[in-house]
Amino acid sequence: MKILGSEITPYKTYLNRRKFIKGSLASAMLATVTSSAFANHDSDLSIYTKNLNENDKLNSYEEITTYNNFYEFGTHKKHPHLNSGNFKPRPWTIKIDGLVKKPQTFDLEKILSNVTIEDRVYRLRCVEAWSMVIPWQGFQLSELIKMAEPLSSAKYVQFVTVFRPEEMPGQQKRTIIWPYREGLRMDEAMNPLTILATGLYGHEMPNQNGAPIRLVVPWKYGFKSIKSIVEIRFLDTQPETSWETLAPWEYGFYANVNPNVNHPRWSQGTERRIGEFKRRETLMFNGYEKEVAHLYKDLDLTKFY
């Protein structure tokens, strides 16, 4: 997909559009918008700023949409941006099955009519030791799980990416065993930080970022945040996940961001924030320790990496 310069939303415009949409909240924010749009972030007026540190700045739309790991469109960072033009994200359905009251297939439109889309600005930390700050739009996964009505025996959730080799040229090659699969423990899936994102920077989710709907789990390495989801399965055992299947000695099921547990290929102690020159220290659980550390208090994170 070719992005015209005019399509790229500068942060200020994005902020203004939000205000237009959410009038009442916006009037308060309007007063605080000064020459530094970023500074406004720290004033913490809405849910989407509360998990950011003061030295986090949004990455640009261009950075977020031209540097992606989405092997369905190719293994280079630029491939998803270059090769995803033929992908058709609408119409879209999500199949719900496994341990649920009633297996069913939801139209994406139907799901969206039942939820409220929120803004969430999250850090995204890739296992390759780079990171970004991304303004997502989406809703809590827990809302969809409630709609799905899982049985009490469901302990895990598995997600499956669409398989369309004719639209996703990367799938024509067996670099990964397609379709891509990911999974979460039920309590991780229900955590309020975990969202299904349908947009970024106020745009519909671009194809290269996982259109039309993708998971975002900000305290885990990026590969957990599976894109273009067509199936959600509820299970009583830990599901297989794609990278773990491919190289279990490198990638675990949990994949929590952890500066103390190194990957054989990348030290996880530091990271390069895209757009910055010097590396940053990587934060435990990507800086979301307060929100999620309790989920793992009984788990040996060096063993369950």
**Does the protein bind another protein through residue 266 (CB under 8 A)?**
yes
CB of 145 to another protein, least distance (A): 30
- Residue with Cβ nearer another protein (155 or 272): 272
From 146, 157, 151, 144, select the one nearest 235 (Cα to Cα).
157
Count the residues in the chain: 305
Q: Which of 25, 246, 293, 299 binds another protein (CB under 8 A)?
A: 246
x/- map, 143-172, another protein, by CB under 8 A: ------------------------------
Q: How far apart are CA 235 and CA 238, in angstroms?
A: 7
Instruction: Identify residues 168-207 at the interface with another protein (CB under 8 A).
Output: 173, 175-176
> What's the distance, Cα to Cα, between the start and end of the chain in Å?
35
Sign of the alpha-carbon dihedral angle for 172, 175, 181, 187: negative
Among the listed residues 71, 156, 180, 296, the single contact to another protein using CB under 8 A: 71
The yes or no reply on residue 264 touching another protein (CB under 8 A) is yes
Strand runs labelled E in 19-129: 93-98, 104-107, 118-125
Which residue number, 132 or 217, has a Cβ lying nearer to another protein?
Answer: 132
Please identify which residue in 13, 262, 289, 293 interacts with another protein, judged by CB under 8 A: 262
Work out how close the CB of 220 gets to another protein at its nearest, in angstroms, rounded to a whole number.
17
Phi, psi angle pair for 102, to nearest 5°: -145, 115
Prior bond of 192 cis (ω within 30°): no
CB of 294 to another protein, least distance (A): 31
**Number of chain residues interacting with another protein (CB under 8 A):** 26
The DSSP bridge partners found for residue 212 are: none
Calpha distance 30→85 (Å, rounded): 36
Contact call for residues 138 and 210 (beta carbons, < 8 A): no
Return residues touching another protein (CB under 8 A).
62-63, 66-67, 71, 75, 77-78, 130, 173, 175-176, 246, 262, 264-267, 269-270, 272, 274-275, 277-279
